[in-house]
Amino acid sequence: MQIIRQIFILSIISILAQSNSVAQDKEWENNVIYNEKQVPFYELPDPLVTVEGKRVATVDDWEQIRRPQIMGMFASTIYGKVPQPEKEIEQEFELLDTDEKFLDGKCTRKRLLFNFSNHRGSVGMHMVVYLPNHVNGPVPVLLQISFSGADRGSIETDNIQSYGRLRNGIPLIHFLNQGFGVAYINGGEAVRDGNSFGGNTIHKLFYKGNQSLPRADEWGVIGGIAWQASRAMDYLETDNDVDHSKVALLGFSKLGKCALWAAAQDTRFAMALSQNSGCAGAALWRRSFGENLKYMFRFPHWLCGNARKYIGNEGDLPVDQHMLLACIAPRPVYVTSGLSDNWADPMGEYLSSHHATPVYELYGLKGQPTKERPRINEPAEDRALSYVIRSGGHGYFYKDWDRYIKFMKFHFNKK
């Protein structure tokens, strides 16, 4: 009986502790995430003013002077630079198989295996490409950085669900019907996302001597996955069935951050689609709202080590995320937020788009000219820098895919 009583008391204590924890979490959410009044006063660096204080007035000055400055600061303070390996990395890709009658003959599926190697070892990466069969000539492609199969080391491709949807969410049949191809890679296959940051990761091929972790100014997880996306682009350039001048890069959440950084670095991507990317993606650091820099470092290797010193001092950052969006100009960018996804700071994502607009206007393109956020579910496909806030929260919604198709059709069909 005494033992039963002790178990009962311990159970009550546990329940009360859990209740108290939930209450504390709820209080934290109310005070930190959802309360716009918590946003501190901030001033943003001007993307069109150089480090020397000179105002940029021409596209040439932007591309030759200011943009390289900004990209260098992002590399040294946020994402980390890609180090020079001791020995050149050999890159090979193998076409594992081709199924020309996939999905009842609607498309051709190609499965590929990449291998990256040097004297420090080798790392593999899978890729799948689906191309419509009812078209003549090369087609535009949506390249998605996917979470699919991150723990299995390969991408499963034969799991088409009802209505022609892949398990990673893509409504494949809709893209095929519009004449678009779809490709995806596994954003966790060649880059391990753990505290140890070790194992079979692409980073090991770039280490020097006895190095076992990236140095403070070298790339982390986001930089590594962005590198993966560029290697996928290497293949798409060689595929005669793909219009490699019309490849749109898509990522969601953490992978949305990766997609924006990849598109800024690699101008071969014709378009960037950012879904609920939040901080280190489309949202402004200086708002410190939702997942701010402090909370991002619960994953200590997502960013470069130098970013840590700006925790609580975001105002000292030489850049902010509106400048990342600006560095993708003049290529189209579509930023999607969820109304209830406060962790990703929808308002911060919009303001980032707004403050990047002057660079797009330098090219004579439309962006987000006012500080007032658009109404819910009111996209603007005709803008090169487009933003939509839709109802719902963190995730892919069916309406998101339809809007991406419309955005791709509008901009890829422009003369």
Residue 308 gets which letter from DSSP?
G
* Count of beta carbons in the 10 Å neighbourhood of residue 344: 25
Q: If we measure between CA atoms, which residue out of 106, 142, 135, 134 comes closest to residue 412?
A: 142
3-state helix, strand, coil in the chain (%, to 5): 40, 20, 40
Segment holding 402, helix H or strand E: helix 398-412
71-108 as b/e: b if 16+ CB within 10 A: bebbbbbbbbbbbeeeeebeeebeeeeeeeebbeebbb
φ, ψ of residue 116 in degrees (nearest 5): -115, 130
How many whole angstroms from its chain centre is CA 60? Answer: 28
CB–CB of 348/366 below 8 Å?
Answer: no
Q: d(Cα 170, Cα 182) in Å, to the nearest integer?
A: 9
DSSP state, residue 49: B
Any idea of the CA torsion for 5, 7, 13, 18, to the nearest 10 degrees? -150
Taking the C-alpha atoms of residue 218 and residue 301, their distance in angstroms, rounded to an integer, is 10
Q: By the 8 A CB rule, do 125 and 191 touch?
A: no
Question: Which DSSP symbol is given to 66?
Answer: I
- Listed in order, strand segments (DSSP E) in 41-134 are 90-101, 107-118, 121-132
Closest by alpha carbon to 155, among 164, 146, 144, 165? 146
Give the whole-angstrom CA distance, residue 361 versus residue 193: 38
Q: What is d(CA 398, CA 197) in angstroms, rounded to the nearest whole number? A: 34
Catalytic center residues? 253, 394
| Strands (DSSP E) found in 177-314 | 181-186, 242-252, 271-275
